[in-house]
């Protein structure tokens, strides 16, 4: 066996081991979420948010690279892109908005809901912004933000997160693989939709 063949075999073994590890993480979280699907929606969402926060905190403590994360209050380029959430998160967001006295712009949600992920940046700049984004660049319902927002952490100039000016992947991301699998499992167990449509459905459903 040549050195090149041995090296290739080792890479393949590592890749297979990693894939098996990620599949196991996914299945563990998916099983838990499937079992909890009938629970009270806001409580279930809060529980899943707490779980991903714990995973992120643990993995950031273990990662030297996490010190390079550049996300901060008022850095809001990621709040102008398409975000997939699950129905229970939509219910929690509407509940949090009501509690905070936040007026949700349903007209903008209607306009946003006409745009798929690949057409999102075809909207006017003002319409691309999340309905919960304040004039100060901060989230009005930050404590109830979706898992998709919680796990999106970058280690680059936040300007590179502007999807209207830079291609996807321009901003180097910091990953917690378990956080990625946890959110993938939630989307698989509960279903997914872009935030505007999910919020409209929740707003149009009597509490």
CA–CA distance, 143 with 5 (Å, rounded to integer): 50
Domain hosting 177: range is: 3-203
Q: How many domains does the chain have?
A: 1
Q: What is the pLDDT of residues 60-103, one digit of tens each?
A: 999 999 999 999 988 999 999 999 999 999 999 999 999 999 99
CA distances from 125 to 52, 84, 103, 119, 121 (A): 31, 19, 20, 13, 8
Query: What are the structure tokens assigned to 76, written together?
Result: 């809001």
- What is the helix (H) or strand (E) element at residue 193, kind and residue range? strand 193-194
Look at residues 69, 76, 66 and name the one whose alpha carbon lies nearest to residue 136.
76
| Percent of the chain with pLDDT strictly greater than 70 | 98
The SS3 assignment for 74 reads coil
Q: What is the pLDDT of residues 45-64, one digit of tens each?
A: 999 999 999 999 999 999 99
HSE-up (13 A, CA, CB side) for residue 111: 14
> What is the reported pTM?
0.91
């Amino acid at each position: 066996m040549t050195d090149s063949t041995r090296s290739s075999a080792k890479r393949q073994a590592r890749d297979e081991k990693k894939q098996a590890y990620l599949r196991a993480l996914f299945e563990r979280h998916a099983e838990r979420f499937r079992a909890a699907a009938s629970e009270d929606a806001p409580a279930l969402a809060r529980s899943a948010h707490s779980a991903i926060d714990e995973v992120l905190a643990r993995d950031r403590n273990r990662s030297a690279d996490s010190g390079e994360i550049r996300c901060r209050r008022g850095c809001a380029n990621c709040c102008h892109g398409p975000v997939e959430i699950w129905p229970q998160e939509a219910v929690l967001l509407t509940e949090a908005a009501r509690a905070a006295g936040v007026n949700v712009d349903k007209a903008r949600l209607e306009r946003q809901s006409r745009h798929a992920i690949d057409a999102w940046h075809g909207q006017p700049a003002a319409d691309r912004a999340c309905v919960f984004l304040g004039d100060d660049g901060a989230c009005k319902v930050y404590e109830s933000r979706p898992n998709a927002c919680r796990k999106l952490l970058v280690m680059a100039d936040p300007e590179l997160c502007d999807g209207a000016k830079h291609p996807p992947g321009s901003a180097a991301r910091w990953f917690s693989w378990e956080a990625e699998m946890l959110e993938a499992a939630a989307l698989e167990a509960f279903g997914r939709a872009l935030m505007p449509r999910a919020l409209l459905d929740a707003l149009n459903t009597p509490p």
